Amino acid sequence: AVEGATHDEL
Amino acid sequence: MNVFRLVADLMHLASILILLLKIRKTRSAAGISFKSQLLYLIVFVTRYLDLFTHWVSLYNTAMKVFFIASSGYIVYQMQRRYRATWDPALDTFRIEFLLGGAAVMSLIFHTKFTFLELFWTYSIWLEAVAILPQLFQMSRTGEAETITAHYLFALGAYRGLYVVNWIYRYATEGYWEWIPFLAGMVQTVLYADFFYVYFSRVMRGKKFELP
């Protein structure tokens, strides 16, 4: 997984 | 995806289209705070640094590209073609405090101390206050064009609906992030005066004027 990039919103 | 988030995203999309329409139709960026527009460009660039590393969906990517591109286009056009149509002397809010404040907030309040996460958090805190130069300019001039008021309403409604979305997501999926929730609440509170005037005047066909 990419570091910290868990956000699925805009 | 739920209805609150979808409508919020569409309001955000609409707000930018209304702003572009206002500038093109009146051939003027008068009444628009360049500083707020610059802050939104910084918000989208820093938030969507994961554009090429983290795939969510075509919808998500298309919206990210649109928000970065459109905010960049608006900032560029305000500096070039429409440079003479707006008055920098009215746009005097000190954004250094907002840029610095958001940096301090993201260094103190974040979930992970990583490059992408810190910039993401920075964009969240900065977005909460990015509208202040625009509201400050309007409080100085005491009025706004109706189309500008519609733009601001759509922009404010977008984050307000995201707050509802977060509450809904917590209730239905157990998903919770307190940083965007808090930032969204701050932004919505900053909009409170504007919403009041918008509902009591602009929605009734009157001009946006501060009492």
In the 3-class helix/strand/coil scheme, how is B121-145 assigned residue by residue? Answer: HHHHHHHHHCCHHHHHHHHHHCEEC
User: pLDDT band at residue A2, thresholds of 50, 70 and 90?
Assistant: very low
Q: Which pLDDT belongs to residue B84?
A: 98
Q: Write phi, then psi, for B209 (nearest 5 degrees).
A: -135, 135
pLDDT per residue, tens digit, chain B (211 aa), is 999 999 999 999 999 999 999 999 999 999 999 999 999 999 999 999 999 888 999 999 999 999 999 999 999 999 999 999 999 999 999 999 999 999 999 999 999 999 999 999 999 999 999 999 999 999 999 999 999 999 999 999 999 999 999 999 999 999 999 999 999 999 999 999 999 999 999 999 999 999 8
d(CA B209, nearest CA chain A) in Å = 32
Supply the DSSP string of B171-211, one letter for each residue. Answer: HHH----HHHHHHHHHHHHHTHHHHHHHHHTGGGT--EE--
Q: Nearest chain B Cα to A1, which residue?
A: B54
Q: Which pLDDT belongs to residue A3?
A: 42
Tell me if B116 and A10 make a contact (CB, 8 A cut-off). no
Which residue's structure tokens are 């990419």?
Answer: A2
- Residue A1, pLDDT > 60, answer no
Q: Which residues of chain A neighbour B117 with C-beta distances below 8 Å?
A: 3-5
User: pLDDT band at residue A5, thresholds of 50, 70 and 90?
Assistant: very low
Q: Which pLDDT belongs to residue B195?
A: 97
Tell me if A3 and B56 make a contact (CB, 8 A cut-off). no
Neighbours of B11 (CB within 10 A): 19
Q: Which pLDDT belongs to residue A7?
A: 87
Q: Which pLDDT belongs to residue B211?
A: 81
What is the Cα–Cα distance from B14 to B9, expressed in whole angstroms? Answer: 8
Facing residue for A7 by CB, picked from B9, B67, B120: B120
d(CA B142, nearest CA chain A) in Å = 32
Numbered residues of chain B with Cβ closer than 8 Å to any chain A Cβ = 5, 9, 12, 50, 53-54, 56, 60, 63-64, 67, 111-112, 114-117, 120, 162, 165, 180
Query: What's the mean pLDDT in A1-10?
Result: 63
Q: Write phi, then psi, for B91 (nearest 5 degrees).
A: -105, 70
Q: Which pLDDT belongs to residue B44?
A: 98
d(CA A6, nearest CA chain B) in Å = 8
